[in-house]
Amino acid sequence: MFINSNKKMKDRIRIASGQGFWGDLVDAPYKQATGGPVDYIMMDYLAEVTMSILQKQKLKDPDFGYARDIPPLMEKLLPVIKQKNIKVITNGGGVNPVACRDAIFNAAEKAGIKGIKIGIVQGDNILNDIDELVSKGIELKNMETGESVKTVRDKILSANVYLGAAPVVECLKQGADIVITGRVTDTGLTLAPMIYEFGWDMNNWDLMAAGTVAGHILECGGQASGGNFLGDWKSIPDLARIGFPIAEAFPNGEVIITKHENTGGRVSIETVSEQLVYEIGDPKDYITPDCIADFTSIHLEDAGENRVKVFGVKGLPATPFYKVSMSYSDGYSAAGSLTYCWPDALEKAKAADQILRKRLEDLGLKFDEIRTEFQGYNACHGPIAETFDDLNEVVLRIAVRSQDRKSIERFGKEIAPLILTGPPGVTGFAGGRPKPSDVVAYWPALIPKTEVKAEVTVESN
């Protein structure tokens, strides 16, 4: 696929990261739009479990099912992007891009802004197509276990295909100022404007890989500019005012990662490198709908203060499959906690854990799993945690999971009694008895691309 644009090709574009997940700094997109020159703002809201949450919200109210941070954000952002001709691309449409679009149109009306064109991408939601697919022999087998989706069919909550950049490009070709998608890949949100602005051939796998790598760097927001930095984190300046990363992209596939001046954080080879290895499997085969990117081919070069050049990226042809992210109901869980103080804080917490486990056993309750952690001692490092003899305090946190809701409910009634019938020096019980929560499990699968059709609509207010 070759993108032939009649408009003049730009010699560079600046794509700003605006969100790394639903719940990220709410003002980050506005600061990216006002902090300096940018052409695009990409906002990644979705994770695997997010889709099931949004599906539940839509079932309760057909006007929901998208990231509801977006409309109030856009009410503030619209005057700026209109004035500065900045385009916004986000997958925050979740399972209801139409409702998200309509909410943004309402925000535009409140702001007195006319002539905003919004494109939406649909077709990723295959929840209602599963039975037909199975009847055709496409069993959507779990990529980890090989089981057919038929084993959990009656429990499925959501099923969404990871679409790539192509439908987003189509929205941009039709003049969209804002693109709202469902489950489009995080990397596709950044790759799409490069394809559109530079007229890239989507069968040029090196260019597709270069844009994909840039998208991977931007997708986690401030993590590429010093947030969550494992290296010398103490040296990262002014994290309270961290500047989110920006990809300055060029037609030849080279990218410079930077951030706005006078913002906190740092863009360096070290911070970019950490983000590059975040959430990847085989670095030679980073598979997306658009290509396979070879992360071992990436070259990084210091290009000045808070500027890192990314170049030399190699790619391979895309596979004939899309990944499907499904979620299904898998029982119930609950967790409770108590705090034990010095002296013998850890010993007290361990004794309380054993007392509670014995009581649950005596009650004959059915649990698929019981897990205990001692916060302040091993919550992060588990069995390899170094033992300390004289801890000031330890939080005992114990969680259970079961298909039997009544067992979970009874567990919730056994935490508070430890206060008067267990080890001494205990506090921290608040919020009432822990109640059962639904467990949402993940089911990854593959589907032939021929079975999925993305749908694009662009409308103006």
Query: What is the gyration radius of the CA atoms in the chain, in angstroms?
Result: 25
What is the percent of the chain with per-residue pLDDT over 70, rounded to a whole number?
A: 98
Give per-residue pLDDT as tens, 142-196: 999 999 999 999 999 999 999 999 999 999 999 999 999 999 999 999 999 999 9
Query: Residues 271, 185: one domain?
Result: yes
Q: What is the pLDDT of residue 285?
A: 97
Rounded-to-integer distance, Cα 179 and Cα 173, Å = 11
Rounded-to-integer distance, Cα 355 and Cα 52, Å = 36
Query: Residues 335, 315: one domain?
Result: no
What CA–CA distances, in Å, run from 56 to 60, 123, 158? 6, 19, 9
Amino acid (1-letter code) at residue 300: L
3-class DSSP assignment, residue 212:
helix
Rounded-to-integer distance, Cα 119 and Cα 132, Å = 29
Q: How many CB atoms neighbour CB 348 within 10 A?
A: 23
Residue 4 has pLDDT above 70, yes or no: no
Query: Residues 395, 290: one domain?
Result: no
Q: What H or E segment, with its residue span, contains residue 131?
A: helix 130-135
Query: Residues 371, 300: one domain?
Result: no
Query: Residues 184, 269: one domain?
Result: yes
Q: Give the residue-averaged pLDDT of 365-377.
A: 96
Nearest to residue 126, comparing CAs of 91, 158, 90? 158
Q: How many CB atoms neighbour CB 95 within 10 A?
A: 28
CB half-sphere exposure, 248, CA atoms < 13 A? 14
Q: What is the pLDDT of residue 51?
A: 84
Sheet holding 455-460, edge to edge: 299-302, 308-311, 255-258, 246-249, 13-19, 40-43, 87-90, 178-181, 117-122, 455-460
* 73 domain-assigned: yes
CA 352 to chain centre: 37
> In DSSP terms, which residues pair with 401 in a beta bridge?
333, 369
Given a contact cutoff of 8 angstroms between Cβ atoms, the answer to whether 412 and 432 are in contact is no
Rounded-to-integer distance, Cα 416 and Cα 433, Å = 7
Give per-residue pLDDT as tens, 65-116: 999 999 999 999 999 999 999 999 999 999 999 999 999 999 999 889 999 9
Confidence of residue 1 (pLDDT cuts 50, 70, 90): low
Q: Give the residue-averaged pLDDT of 326-340.
A: 96
Query: Residues 295, 346: one domain?
Result: no
Query: Residues 247, 384: one domain?
Result: no
Of 278, 294, 319, at which residue does a domain stop?
Answer: 319
Query: Residues 368, 416: one domain?
Result: yes
Residue 387 has pLDDT above 90, yes or no: no
3-class DSSP assignment, residue 266:
coil
* 139 domain-assigned: no
* 267 domain-assigned: yes
CATH of the domain at 404: 3.30.70
Count Cβ neighbours within 10 Å for each residue of 307-338 and write b for 16 or more, e otherwise: bbbbbebbbbebbebbbbbbbbbbbbbbbbbb
What is the percent of the chain with per-residue pLDDT over 90, rounded to a whole number?
A: 91
* 447 domain-assigned: no
Confidence of residue 6 (pLDDT cuts 50, 70, 90): low
Q: What is the pLDDT of residue 50?
A: 85
* 386 domain-assigned: yes
Nearest to residue 45, comparing CAs of 24, 61, 59, 65? 24
* 454 domain-assigned: no
Amino acid (1-letter code) at residue 134: V
Q: How many domains does the chain have?
A: 2
Of 269, 290, 319, at which residue does a domain stop?
Answer: 319
Query: Residues 192, 267: one domain?
Result: yes
Q: What H or E segment, with its residue span, contains residue 337?
A: strand 321-341
> In DSSP terms, which residues pair with 87 in a beta bridge?
40
Rounded-to-integer distance, Cα 423 and Cα 345, Å = 10
Given a contact cutoff of 8 angstroms between Cβ atoms, the answer to whether 405 and 416 are in contact is no
**Mean pLDDT (the chain, rounded):** 95
Q: Which of 145-154, 398-407, 427-436 has the lowest mean pLDDT?
A: 427-436
> In DSSP terms, which residues pair with 334 in a beta bridge?
400
> In DSSP terms, which residues pair with 449 in a beta bridge?
none
* 154 domain-assigned: no
Q: What is the pLDDT of residue 3?
A: 53
Of 250, 284, 319, at which residue does a domain stop?
Answer: 319
φ/ψ of 84, rounded to 5, equals -100, 5
Q: How many CB atoms neighbour CB 90 within 10 A?
A: 27
Quote the domain boundaries for residue 61.
13-124+162-319
Query: Residues 77, 191: one domain?
Result: yes
Query: Residues 293, 338: one domain?
Result: no
Query: Residues 370, 225: one domain?
Result: no
Q: Give the residue-averaged pLDDT of 28-47.
A: 97
Give per-residue pLDDT as tens, 49-70: 788 889 889 888 999 999 999 9
What CA–CA distances, in Å, run from 209 to 149, 205, 292, 307, 444? 31, 6, 7, 20, 23
* 455 domain-assigned: no
Residue 141 has pLDDT above 90, yes or no: yes
Q: How many CB atoms neighbour CB 125 within 10 A?
A: 21
